[in-house]
Structure 1
Amino acid sequence: MAFDAELDAALSAAFGKASELYQRNGFQRRVGFGRRPALINVDLANAWTRPGNPFTCEKIDEEIIPGVQALLAACRRNGHPVVHVTTCYQVTDRASDATDMGLWHQKIPVEVVAQDKPDLWAIDSRIEPVPGEQVLIKKRASAFHGTYLAGFLRANNVDTILVTGVTASACVRTTLCDGLAEGFRTIAVKECIGDRVPGAVAWNLFDIDAKFADVEPLSRCIAYLDDVGTRAAA
């Protein structure tokens, strides 16, 4: 805990100096909320949210799951689209040319989430999908890369994506970067994004907020979901 506090203090000091530099050069602008939101939960499946796995992340039980539950409730009462994203692989033989892991297995143990182990890549039961919500399987870091996500969102007239999940340094970050590139307003929900390494969330959210998305607190995101839902109903 002492190390975490020291790291947070050091990062805060560094971010203060970096913010001055960014703002002086025109960074940290706001993309803003749009008229039609969707919630994208990235890799909040058991291999990432439950203890004892290579992909297990921090602050899942005490912060991320409760926050996502609140976002889901807001989306469901207002009729906003929800996409639950997970990752799994059909061919986990690293020597096979037919593997759908590509070259990613040369860096990380993606073979852990084999398709024949659905207990690992299934969405955490505490935030499990309800009928009408999408469950999207991806093969790469970004939820957009090689998937139907952008087309699904456009077909639903979505202009804003609220992104949660893990990890801040990889799948969440690349999803936000690709979401902006695809023309969506990108919102990172601050309390609902995690990682495995101390400092990784703070650094990535700071840098994402400067370049690729607006990092917004959970309370503001829920208020937005309710407000836009009320206006749409009216």
Structure 2
Amino acid sequence: MSDLVPPRSELVIDPTRTAVVNVDVQRCFVENTPLAAPDGPDVLRRINELVGACRAAGALVVHTRSWMRPDRTDVGAVMDRLVPPFIVALYTAGAESAELHPDLDVDERDIVLDKPRYGAFHATELELVLRHRGIDTVIVTGIATSICCETTAREAAVRDFHVLFADDATGTQDMAGVDAATLHRATCASLSMVFARIVSTDEVIRTVSDDARALAAR
């Protein structure tokens, strides 16, 4: 059986109706912890390139943080049973490892959103913010590809947002005996079928810049 390949139409991005949802680029996911993506610093560099271009073109930028209460009252059943406490502690409020990475491009116009679950929409005001601003397209970047980024992309898709998933501006780590590269490729393949269009950083930057110029010329 041949692989099913979703059709590729011309990529169009209206920056004024677009948000970059930059998922969990926190110290603990970028480097120097068991949760860090092997290529975390490289992913961070590409995220900064994409975020900078999109913001300059007029897009909204949202940075999310996995963020647990120190008293663990919002950890919930899944994380309480499956995730070791020392791991949850890495993204608990007050921990230095939970803060956004200091090299991340964060601007005063951006929104920083704390989330208590893997997806950025669950139990947050993200959808309300996007709807209020007339946004219909979401570009997902961040860490980890196969957990919080994927969950956020699926949540956005079922809410009828157009979802662009940045292949080279997302990253993950080895999990349960499966290497990071395989997990990343499988996640992108699954999302590409029905949830998101898989794009590269260069493709987004080129398109958002061209489309912003076209809108300004009208």
Q: TM-score range by the shorter chain?
A: 0.7 to 0.9
1:147-158 matches, cutoff 5 A: 147-158=124-135
Deviations 1:92-129 (A, max 9, x none): 45xxxxx1111213212323222121x21211121141
Q: Which residue of 2 aligns with 1:100?
A: 74
Normalised TM-score (structure 1):
0.81
Q: Give 1:82 deviation, angstroms.
A: 0.1
Number of corresponding residues: 204
1:161-200 matches, cutoff 5 A: 161-197=138-174, 198=179, 199-200=182-183
Q: What is the rounded CA distance, in whole Å, between the counterparts of 1:111 and 1:60 in structure 2? A: 20
Q: Which amino acid aligns with 1:123?
A: L
Q: Which amino acid aligns with 1:75?
A: C
Q: Give 1:33 deviation, angstroms.
A: 4.2
1:2-21 matches, cutoff 5 A: 20-21=2-3
Select which of 79, 95, 110 maps to 2:88. 110
Answer yes or no: is 1:68 the counterpart of 2:47: yes
1:1-234 matches, cutoff 5 A: 20-23=2-5, 28-29=6-7, 33-35=12-14, 36-51=17-32, 53-62=33-42, 64-93=43-72, 99-103=73-77, 104-108=79-83, 109-117=87-95, 119-197=96-174, 198=179, 199-234=182-217
Q: What is the rounded CA distance, in whole Å, between the counterparts of 1:174 and 1:30 in structure 2? A: 23
Q: Which amino acid aligns with 1:131?
A: E
Q: Give 1:203 deviation, angstroms.
A: 1.1
Q: Give 1:176 deviation, angstroms.
A: 0.3
- Return 5+ residue gaps in structure 1 as ranges: 1-16, 94-98
Alpha-carbon contact 1:142-1:175 (below 8 Å) kept: yes
Normalised TM-score (structure 2):
0.86
Secondary structure of the 1:187 match is strand
Q: Give 1:135 deviation, angstroms.
A: 0.3
Indicate the structure (1 or 2) with the bigger Cα radius of gyration. 1
Q: Which amino acid aligns with 2:21?
A: I
Q: Give 1:230 deviation, angstroms.
A: 1.7
- Return 5+ residue gaps in structure 2 as ranges: none
Q: What is the rounded CA distance, in whole Å, between the counterparts of 1:190 and 1:217 in structure 2? A: 6
Q: What is the rounded CA distance, in whole Å, between the counterparts of 1:56 and 1:125 in structure 2? A: 15
RMSD: 1.8
Q: What is the rounded CA distance, in whole Å, between the counterparts of 2:207 and 2:128 in structure 1? A: 24
Q: Which residue of 2 aligns with 1:7?
A: none
Q: Which amino acid aligns with 1:59?
A: D
Q: What is the rounded CA distance, in whole Å, between the counterparts of 1:223 and 1:41 in structure 2? A: 19
Q: What is the rounded CA distance, in whole Å, between the counterparts of 2:37 and 2:213 in structure 1? A: 35
Q: What is the rounded CA distance, in whole Å, between the counterparts of 1:136 and 1:223 in structure 2? A: 27
Q: Which amino acid aligns with 1:45?
A: Q
Q: Which amino acid aligns with 2:80?
A: H
Secondary structure of the 2:167 match is strand
